[in-house]
Amino acid sequence: MKGVKERLAKKIKLITIVSTLKNSIDRTIHHIRDEVVAESGQSRGCVTPTILELEDVEDQEHEQDLQEEEEREILLEFEENCPPGGEDSVVFYTTGLRGVRKTFEACRRVRFLLENHKVMYKERDVSMDTEFRDEMWRLLGGKVTSPRLFIRGRYIGGADEVVALNENGKLKKLLEGISLVDSPCECCENERFLICSSCNGSSRLIADEEETSNNDNKMWTRCRECNENGLVKCPLCS
Ligand SMILES: [Zn+2]
Ligand SMILES: [Zn+2]
């Protein structure tokens, strides 16, 4: 019993010593800090970082971490559904067809918002390429119409959802960290497609002799490099 008491007493003593030490260290740090403040006030143009500046950097880093965390949290509100090549980018399914006015206008609204935020996005015009249309249908599990927006592998929604998110400020947060546009795409000037160089945009080629039969209609073969419109997707922005 006596042994326990002694040990306890020793422990208490140790704790007191440690806390006294800690206090005196704290005092020294404060003292150094005050000196640094006084010094940096005197000699302006000093390039060595002071403790205070280092603290500023730490604060900024902390703020950035919080911001990134907030972005991730907002992203988590949306269903994970990643279009090909859309892991870390914005993918926008659209249509250039004016046939259905409502759809065309809705696509324009979403494009306008994306342009307003000046972010890079991959635009996939489903009227220019059935592969894009099938891709969009596959992702959303049905024959849906454009526009459809995906950010960082998550499905954000159609025009109504995107407009609402823009109004409540969430779209800005969702787009944070996405590269900004500084100039039109260097490959396609933002046309998103290039004319196929194999077939010059005709989407067909004269068939090889083995493929040619006596039938005149089979003199031609479908170009495998491009889509049904003789276009090749821009490798940079679509
Ligand atoms: Zn491009
Ligand atoms: Zn071609």
pLDDT tier, 44 (very low <50, low <70, confident <90, very high otherwise): very low
pLDDT score of 211: 55
Q: Name the residue with higher pLDDT: 53 or 177.
A: 177
Q: Is the pLDDT of residue 37 over 50?
A: no
User: What is the reported pLDDT for 33?
Assistant: 55
Task: Give the dihedral sign, CA 167/172/174/180.
Answer: positive
**Ligand approaching nearest to the C-alpha of 197:** 2
Does the 90-175 domain belong in CATH 3.40.50.720?
Answer: no
94 or 46, higher pLDDT: 94
- For the chain, percent of residues with pLDDT exceeding 90: 61
Q: Of the bound ligands, which one is closest to the alpha carbon of residue 121?
A: 1
Indicate which ligand has the atom closest to the C-alpha of 202: 2
Residue 175 · residue 149 · CB < 8 Å: no
Neighbouring residues of the ion ligand 2, judged by CB less than 5 Å:
196, 198-199, 223, 225-226
CA distance 165 to 172: 8
| Alpha helices (runs of H) in the chain, residue ranges in sequence order | 2-42, 51-76, 101-116, 130-140, 159-167, 170-175
* pLDDT tens column, 188-231: 999 999 999 999 999 999 887 655 545 555 688 999 999 999 99
* Predicted local distance difference test score (pLDDT) of residue 41: 45
Residue extents of the structural domains in the chain: 90-175, 193-233
- 1-36 pLDDT, tens digit each: 445 556 655 554 554 544 554 555 456 545 555 554
What is the spatial distance between Cα 137 and Cα 140, in angstroms, rounded to a whole number?
5
- pLDDT of 127 above 50: yes
For residue 112, give the nearest of 132, 92, 98 by alpha carbon: 92
Encode pLDDT of 54-88 as tens digits: 777 788 888 878 777 777 788 999 999 999 999 99
Q: Would you tell me how many other CB atoms lie within 10 Å of the CB of residue 170?
A: 16
The alpha carbon of 21 and the centre of ligand 2 are apart by a number of angstroms equal to 79
- Find tokens 């422990």 and name the residue: 11
The bound ligand whose nearest atom lies closest to the alpha carbon of 123 is 1
What is the distance in A from the centroid of ligand 1 to the CA of 233?
Answer: 8
Ligand nearest to C-alpha 122: 1
Q: Find the 227 Cα to ligand 2 centroid distance in Å.
A: 7
Digit-coded pLDDT (tens) for 98-125: 988 999 999 999 999 999 999 999 999 9
Q: Which ligand is nearest to the CA of 236?
A: 1
Q: Which-ligand-closest: CA of 238?
A: 1
Q: How far is the CA of 91 from the centre of ligand 1 (A)?
A: 13
